[in-house]
Structures are given as structure tokens and as C-alpha cells.
Structure 1
Amino acid sequence: MTRKLKKGGYTAILSVIVIAAVIILNMIVGRLPEKVRQWDMSSSQIYTLGGTTSDLLKALDKDVTIYVVGDPANVDKRITSFVKRYGDLSGHIKVETVDSVLHPEQVKKLNATDSTLLVSCEATNKTQSIPFNDIIKMDESSYYYYGQAKETEFDGEGQLTGAISHVTSDVSKTIYVTEGHGEAEFGKTVTDMLGKSNLTVTSINLLKDGKIPEDCELLLINAPASDLANDEKTMVSDYLDKGGHVLIFAGYSEKERPNLTSVISAYGLNLENGMAADTKNFYQNNPYYIFPTIESGSEVTNGVDTKSAALVLQSGALTQIQNLPEGISVTPFMQTSDGGMLVTPDAQKKGTYILGAVSEKKLDTGSARLTVFSTPSLIDESLNTSFTNLSNLTLFMNAVTSNFEDVANVSIPSKSLEVTYNTVTHGGMWGILFILVIPAAALCCGLMIWLKRRRL
């Protein structure tokens, strides 16, 4: 055997070994979980699943199949990658791709539609369809005005976790929301979040209906502009005293609302006739834009990161009655700092004021529960879409779901796809350092080196 032939043989064998190693490595990598194969390098961490999803999947005891229905060539890779992470976290989750172009009969058999995720649970015989457009949301006005489609939000976790909870649970609750007093309407974000937790919102006019329905497990009064009628006050008070649950966004009003105030004061809280301000924790030099102090130890604050912030605007103020009625206990979960103030047309009174509290009354059988927020701006649509990192909506959903023993808060806000830029709001000495000193030092240093080399 010639030397050239030997060398060629070694090269061929080495090539075969390298190719085999690459094939084996690809097979191993292909079987690794999606979170290992693809790191979440997105600015808003769209692929990272939070604690709510992890807890739901760990407790899952029913098999769920997620069908990715569409033309595989056109399905956004972010969606397919994201869905696979659910399968990695739970053995009860199975992910299947249904090619709507090659297998339209399978799409029809599943009663699915193109470009959707179909979440199905055979044990409950329930399904829920999620259009891709509900996961990657677009700014329609941008296309209308500028002719360019602009992505705004990624709602994969919120939609998919809510769908899994829906198809695996037999629990469905109805929240009755009063009308007839100029109440504020829920925004789309709040409505979607309630739906993700299997909560249906139904409007009720107490005067017209004449009573609170027997199946009412939570009555919600959202920022009434006018007072309750005497009959309505009696209905709400009787409902509470029979073990009912009521959630009120009282808000500040220039009009007197003695009946609403009476309902609240019967459960140990005074709705003060004035507006809350905070001289220590406020936003943009406006003491009426308050960063409240979030108190731990309440169901309403569960899962709220101590580093995150809530923001309330132009809030009313609550105080606790010194001598609580018998059987009543009050737990504030949101307050001003000790720099709080109650501002009225005639005076300003310093103190710490309650912005949210839960009041419970022990009964012979069970207990009544009244939750009061002093401001409806907590769930304001424009506020929460402008500041997506606030804990406002988490507090709201916790306040709602804590009224039900068998409902968990699985409502997860969507994540922004907007490009964010680092800005220095107050430059000061740092601005001078980075804009003037460092560039000038670099220029001088370069000039000195250039002069030194030129002399050489």
C-alpha cells in the first residue's frame, strides 16, 4: 500500500467519523428541551414561562393536546418554539402539528380553523381555539396610517395558560357588575384577563331586577358616579350579611354618596370626602399620582414582586374605623406612605391613608367579604397599556379570584414587542461624564499617541 493511499484512507475514515459525530450530535440536540436548544434572548423575555404557568403545569392531572394548525412554512417560528416549551414542562402536554394544506380533512375532523392553536382535553371533552393573531398582536392603526404592519404584543403565555386552565377545569364563575350609576366600563385588557381565569362578566341593574341573583358569588361595583338608591343599599347590605362577597372601586367623587359610604362603613372603613396625595412616593412631580405601599400577608398581594410597583391616579382615600363593629376584621393591602395627605377644598390633612383593603365579617355559617379600592384608575386601560410593568392588574385579579375557593389567578398580561431604548432621564454628572469627559479623554489620548509615533 502506497503512502498516498494510506493517507487517503486515513482521511476518508476521519471524514466518516466526523460526519457520524455530527449526525449523532444533531440527534442528541434534537431531543433536548426547547428551552435548552433555544435561549430566550428576547428583550421582553417572550419565551420565558412564569411561576403561574409552572404551578399550573405541575398540578396538571389531565392530558392536554395542543394542535398547531396551519401551513408549517407560514407559521411564525416564535409560536412553534413557544408552544414546545409547554411540552417540555409537563408530561401531560402533547404538541402536534397539523398541516392545513396537506391534511385539510384532519383540520375538519378536529373542528379547527387555519392559523390557530387548538387546545384539547379528552377527559373533559373541552377545546379552545387561539388564533395566531391573538398571540402576536398588531397595531392596526399603524397599517392604516402608514401602510406598515407593526407588532405590539406577544400574548402567548396568557392565551395558552388560560386555555389549558379552561379545558382542564369544570369550574366556571359569573361576576355580576352593577350598572345604572354611571359606572366605568372594563377595558379590553381587564375583560381578557377575567376570561383567562374562566370568569364571565354579566351586567345587572339592581333596581330593574329587584334583587341580587342567587348564584351571585361576587358583586362588583366599578366607580359609580352617582349614589346607590335606598333599595339598592338594602340589597347589597343584606347580600353581604348573608355571606356574600362584594368588590367596590369607590373612587373620588365631588358628589356625596351616603348610601355607598354607609355600606363601606358598616364593614369598618370610612370613605373620606377628599382626594389622596403622597408627598414621598409619587410620579413625575405629581403627588396625586401615587406609588402605593404594598402590604404583604394578604391574598390580594400574593405573587406581587416587592421590586415591582403599582400606580394609582387621583385616588380617593380610606381610613379604618377605630372601634370596629363586632365580628369585623380589616386588612389593608395598599396604602400611602407616611407622607400621605387627604386634600379637600378647605384643608389638607397629613397621615397614612388606605388605598385598598379587605374587610371580613364572621357569621354563624361562613363569612362575608368586602374588598374596597379607593381608585378605579388601578385598572384603567390607558394606564396599564402605557406602563406594562406595573402590578396593578395582578392586584386586581388577585382581589377578584380570592373571593372564590376553586378559582386561581391564571391571568397573565401580554408582553410588549415594542423596541425599547435606554434613556437617561436626569443626566446630571453622569451626562457630563459620558457626553463630554470620556470622549474628550479618548480624543486627547489618541492625539498624544499619534504625536508620539510621528516623532519616532
Structure 2
Amino acid sequence: MTRKLKKGGYTAILSVIVIAAVIILNMIVGRLPEKVRQWDMSSSQIYTLGETTKDLIKGLDKDVTIYVVGDPANIDKRITSFVNRYGDLSSHIKVETVDSVLHPEQLKKLNATDSTLLVSCETTNKTQSIPFADIIKIDESSYYYYGQTKETEFDGEGQLTGAISHVTSDVSKTIYATEGHGEAAFGNTVSDMLKKSNLTVNSINLLKDGKIPEDCELLLINDPASDLANDEKTMLTDYLDKGGHVLILAGYAEKERPNLTSVISAYGLNLENGMAADTKNFYQNNPYYIFPTIETGSDVTNGVDTRSAALVLQSAALTKTENVPDGITVTPFMQTSDGGMLVTEDAQKKGTYILGAVSEKKLDTGSARLTVFSTPTLIDEKLNTSFTNLTNLTLFMNAVTSNFEDVANVSIPSKSLDVTYNTVTHGGMWGILFIFVIPAAVLCCGLMVWFKRRRL
């Protein structure tokens, strides 16, 4: 065997070893979890799963299959990468791709639609379909006016976690929202979040219907502009006395609402006639734009980071009644700081004021529960879409779901795909530092280095 032949043999063997190593490495990498293979470098962390999702999947005792239905060549890679992260979390979750072009018969068999995620649980025989358009949302007005597709939100976790909760649970709750008093309508975000938690919301006019339906498991009153009628006051009082649950977003009103106030005060809370302000924790130099203090010890604040911020605007104020009725426990979960004020036309009264509280009354069988927020801006659509890092919606959904022992808050807001910029909301010393001090320091250092080198 010549030296050249030996050298060629060694080269061939080395090449085979390298190729085999690359193949084995690719096989190993292919079996790694999606979060290891692809790091979440997105500005809004669209691939990162929160604790709500992790807790839900950790507690799964039923098998769930997520079918990614569509033409693999056209499916957005963000969707497939995101879905695979669910499969990595639990052996109860299996992810399958259904090629709608090559296997249209499988779509018929699954009763699936092209360009969707189909979430299925064989144990409960329930399915839920999620269109890709509900995951990656676009600004329709931008397309209509300018012919450009602008992506605005990624709602993968909210949609998929809600679907898994829906197909694995047999629990369904009915909520009624009152109308007839100028109540504010729920925004799209709040409506979607209620739906994600398997909560059905129906409208009701108490005067027209003459009663609160027997299947009502929570009655919602959102920002009533006018007062309850005497009959409605009686209906609410009777409903609560029988163990009913009511959630009121009262809000500030110029007109007096004695019947509404009476229902609230019967459960140990006064709805004060005035507007709440805070001279310590406020936004943009406006004491009526309050950053509330979040109190621990309530199921409404479970899972809420007290270091995070909620923001309420132009709020009414609540206080405890001097003599809380026997058998009733009042638990505030949201308050002003000790720099709070009650502002009326005639006076300003300092103190710490309640902005949200739960009042429970023990009954012979079960308990009645009244939850009161002093402002409906907590769930204002514009406010919460402008400040996506607020805990407002989490507090609201906790307040809703804590009325039910067998319902968890699995409602997760969508994540913005808009470009985010670092902004300084208050200039002051920061403006002086960045505009004058730092440039002056850099200039001085440069002059010193130049002068030193010039002398050399």
C-alpha cells in the first residue's frame, strides 16, 4: 500500500467520522426542547410561557393533542415554534402537524379547518379550533387604508392555554352583566379574557326580566351612570342573602345613587360622595391617576406581584362603615397610600381610601360575596392596551374567578408586536444628566487625552 493510498484512506475515514458526528449531533439537537433549540430573543417575549400556563399544564391528568393544520410551507414559524414549547412541558401534550395539501382527508376526519390549531382531548371528547389569524393579529385599518400588513399582537399563549383549559374541563359558568343604567360595555380584551376562562357572559335588564336568573353564578354591574330602581335594589339584596355573588365596578358619578350605595353599605363598605386622589403614588403629575397599593392576604391578589403596578384613573373612594354588620368580613385588596385624599366640591379630606375590597357574609349554608372596585377604568380598553405591563386585568380576572371554587384564572393577555422604545416619562434630573452632564464629561475626557498626547 503506497503512502498516497494510506493518506487517502485516513482522509476518507476521517471524513466519514466527521459526517457521522454531524448527523448524530443533529439528531441530538433535534430531540432537545424547543426552548433550548431556539432562545426567545423577541422584545415582548412572545415565546416565553408564564406561570399560569406552567401551573395548568403541570396539573394536567388528561391527554391533549394539538394539531397544527395547514400547508407546512406557509405556516408561520413563530406558531410552530411556540406550540412545540407546550409539548416540551408535559407528556400529556402531543403536537402533530396535519398537511392540509397532501392529506385533505385527515382534515375531514378531524373536522378541522385549514390554517388553524385544533386542540383536542379524547377523554372529554371536546375540541377547540384556533385560527392562525387569532394568534398573530394584524391592524385591519392599516391594510385597508395603506395596503400594508402590520402585525400588532401575538396571542399564542392566551389562546392556546385557554383552549387546553376548555377541552380538559367540564366546568362552565354563567355570568350576567346588567344593563339599563348606562353601564359601560366590556372591551374586546376583557371579553376575550372571560371567554378564555370558560365564562359565558349574558346581558340582563333586571326591571324587564323581573328577577335574577337561577343559573346566574355571578352578577356584574359595570359603571352604572344612574341608580338602581327600588325593585332592583330588593332583587340584589335578596340574591345576596341567598348566597349570591355580585361584582360592582362602581365608579365616580355626579348624581347620587342611594340604592346602589345602600346595597354596598349593607356589606360594610361606604361608597363616598367624591373622587379619590393620591398625593404620593400618582402618574404624570396628576394625583387623580393613582398607582394603588396592592394588599396581600386576598384571593384577588393571588399571583400578583406587589412590585408591579396597577393604574386607575378618576376613581371614586370606598371606606369601611363604622359598624360592620355581624357576620360580614371586609377585606381590602387595593388602596391609596397614606397620602390619599377624598376630593369633593367643598372640601378635601386626607386619609387612606379603599379602591377595591371583598365583603363576605357567612350564611347557614355557604356565603354571600360582594366585590367592589371603585373605578371601571381598571378594565378600560384604551388604558390597558396603552400600558400592557399593568396588573389591572389580572386583578379583575382574579376578582371574577375567585367567586368560583372550580375555576382558575387562565386568561392571559396578548403580547404586543409593535416596536417598543425606551422613554423617560419625567425629565428633571435625568434630562440634565443625559443632555448636559454626560456629554460635558465625555468632552472633558477627550480634551484631557488630546492635551496629554499633544505634549508627548
User: If the length of structure 1 is used for normalisation, what is the TM-score?
Assistant: 0.96
2-structure distance, mates of 1:355, 1:453: 64
Q: Residue 353 of structure 1: CA displacement?
A: 0.5
Does structure 1 retain, via aligned residues, the 8 Å contact 2:284–2:425?
Answer: no
Question: Deviation at 1:421?
Answer: 1.3
Q: Return the alpha-carbon distance in structure 1 between the equivalents of residues 339 and 19 of structure 2.
A: 70
Q: In 1, Cα distance between the equivalents of 2:2 and 2:40?
A: 54
- Say which is worse superposed, 5-14 or 253-262, in terms of deviation: 5-14
Which residue pairs with 2:185 in the alignment? 185
Q: Relative to 1, partners in 2 of residues 1:438 and 1:344: Cα closer, same or farther, differing over 3 Å?
A: closer
CA shift in 2, pair 1:166/1:256, >3 Å: same
Change in 2 beyond 3 A, CA 1:442/1:65: same
Distance apart, 1:425 and its partner CA: 3.6
Is 1:125 the counterpart of 2:131? The answer is no
Rounded to whole Å, the distance in 2 between the matches of 1:41 and 1:114 is 29
Q: Structure 1 residues 248, 442: closer, same or farther in 2, change over 3 A?
A: closer
Q: Aligned pair in 2 of structure 1 residues 267, 19: CA closer, same or farther (>3 Å)? A: same
Give the C-alpha shift of residue 448 in structure 1: 7.3
* CA distance in structure 1 between the partners assigned to 2:454 and 2:18 by the alignment: 52
Bigger Cα displacement from structure 2, 289-298 vs 417-426: 417-426
Cα distance in 2, alignment partners of residues 407 and 130 from structure 1: 22
In 2 relative to 1, CA 427–213 (structure 1 residues): closer, same or farther, beyond 3 Å?
Answer: closer
Deviation at 1:214, TM superposition (A): 1.1
Change in Cα spacing, 1:434 to 1:278, as seen in structure 2 (3 Å) is: closer
| Cα displacement string for residues 288-310 of structure 1 (whole angstroms, at most 9, x for unaligned residues) | 11000000010000111122111
In structure 2, the CA distance between the partners of 1:321 and 1:95, relative to structure 1 (3 Å rule), is same
Judging changes above 3 Å, is the alpha-carbon distance between structure 1 residues 212 and 444 closer, same or farther for their aligned structure 2 residues? closer
For 2:428 and 2:2, locate their aligned partners in 1 and report how far apart those are by CA, in whole Å: 77
| 1:454–1:13 CA distance, 2 compared to 1 (3 A) | farther
Deviations 1:406-440 (A, max 9, x none): 11110001111111112334455554554555556
**Equivalent residue pairs, number:** 456
Deviations 1:50-71 (A, max 9, x none): 1110111011111111000011
Aligned to 1:334, what secondary structure does the other structure show?
Answer: strand
Matched position secondary structure for 2:232: helix
Measured at CA, do residues 454 and 261 of structure 1 come closer, stay the same or move farther in structure 2, by a change above 3 Å? closer
Secondary structure, aligned partner of 2:330: strand
2 CA distance for matches of 1:373 and 1:262?
16
Task: Tell me how far apart the structure 2 counterparts of residues 328 and 447 of structure 1 sit (CA, whole Å).
Answer: 73
**Structure 1 unmatched ranges of 5 or more:** none
Tell me the equivalent position of 1:390. Answer: 390
Q: 1:23 to 1:450 in 2, by over 3 A?
A: farther
In 1, the alpha carbon distance for the partners of 2:223 and 2:425 equals: 34
Structure 1 pair 447–201 and aligned structure 2 pair: CA distance change class (3 A): same
SS in 2 for 1:97: strand
Cα deviation per residue 1:382-406 (whole Å; 9 max; x = unaligned)?
1111111100000000000000111
Gaps of 5+ in 2: none
Alpha-carbon distance in 1 for matches of 2:426, 2:268: 44
Secondary structure at the residue paired with 2:400? Answer: helix
Quote how far apart the aligned CAs of 1:147 are.
Answer: 1.9
Q: Secondary structure of the equivalent of 1:124?
A: coil
Q: Find the aligned partners of 2:133 and 2:312 in 1 and give their Cα distance.
A: 31
In the TM superposition, 1:214-293 aligns within 5 A as 214-293=214-293
Give, in angstroms, the shift of residue 445 of structure 1: 6.0
Relative to 1, partners in 2 of residues 1:2 and 1:443: Cα closer, same or farther, differing over 3 Å?
Answer: farther
* Counterparts of 2:154 and 2:76, CA distance in 1: 12
2: CA distance, partners of 1:347 / 1:447: 59
1:216-265: CA deviation from partner (whole Å, max 9, x where unpaired):
11111111111111111001001101111111111110111111010000
User: Structure 1 pair 444/80, CA: closer, same or farther in 2 (3 Å)?
Assistant: same
Whole-Å Cα distance in 2 between the matches of residues 342 and 444 of structure 1? 52
Query: Against the structure 1 CA distance between its residues 423 and 222, is the aligned structure 2 distance closer, same or farther, given a 3 Å change threshold?
Result: closer
Shift of 1:78: 0.4
Per the alignment, in what secondary structure is the counterpart of residue 127 of structure 2? Answer: strand
Provide the rounded CA distance (Å) in 2 between the counterparts of 1:323 and 1:450.
77
Q: 1:91 aligns to what SS in structure 2? A: coil
Change (3 A) 1:436 1:69: same
- SS of structure 1 residue aligned to 2:369: strand
Structure 1 residue 215 displacement after superposition: 1.4
Instruction: Tell me by how many angstroms 1:17 deviates.
Output: 1.0
> 2:243 aligns to what SS in structure 1?
coil
Q: Aligned in 2, Cα 1:89/1:363: closer, same or farther, shift over 3 Å?
A: same
Aligned to 2:420, the other structure's residue is in SS state coil
Q: 1:109 aligns to what? A: 109
The 1:11–1:220 alpha-carbon spacing in structure 2 relative to 1, beyond 3 Å, is same
What is the rounded CA distance, in whole Å, between the counterparts of 1:339 and 1:246 in structure 2?
A: 30
Alignment check: 8 A CA contact 2:112 2:118 kept: yes
Q: CA deviation at 1:446?
A: 6.2
Relative to structure 1, the CA distance from residue 354 to residue 431 in structure 2 (aligned partners, 3 Å threshold; closer, same or farther) is closer
1-side partners of 2:434 and 2:285: how far apart? 26
Measure the CA separation in 2 of the matches of 1:119 and 1:433.
53
Provide, for residues 28-72 of structure 1, a one-character-per-residue CA deviation record: whole Å limited to 9, x for no partner: 000111111111111111111111101110111111110000110
Superposed CA offset, 1:197-230 (max 9, x none): 0000001111111111111111111111111111
Cα distance change, pair 444–275 in 1 and its aligned pair in 2 (3 A): closer
Q: Which TM-score applies when normalising by structure 2?
A: 0.96
Q: What is the Cα deviation at residue 14 of structure 1?
A: 1.4
Deviations 1:169-206 (A, max 9, x none): 11111101111111111011000000000000001111
- Is the alpha carbon distance of 1:300 and 1:441 closer, same or farther for their aligned partners in structure 2, counting shifts above 3 Å? closer
Q: Relative to 1, partners in 2 of residues 1:10 and 1:189: Cα closer, same or farther, differing over 3 Å?
A: same
Q: 1:149 to 1:367 in 2, by over 3 A?
A: same
Cα contact 2:328–2:362 (8 A) shared by 1: yes
My pick for the range that moved more, 331-340 or 99-108, is: 99-108
Larger mean CA deviation between 368-377 and 136-145 belongs to 136-145
Aligned equivalents of 2:343 and 2:455: distance in 1? 74
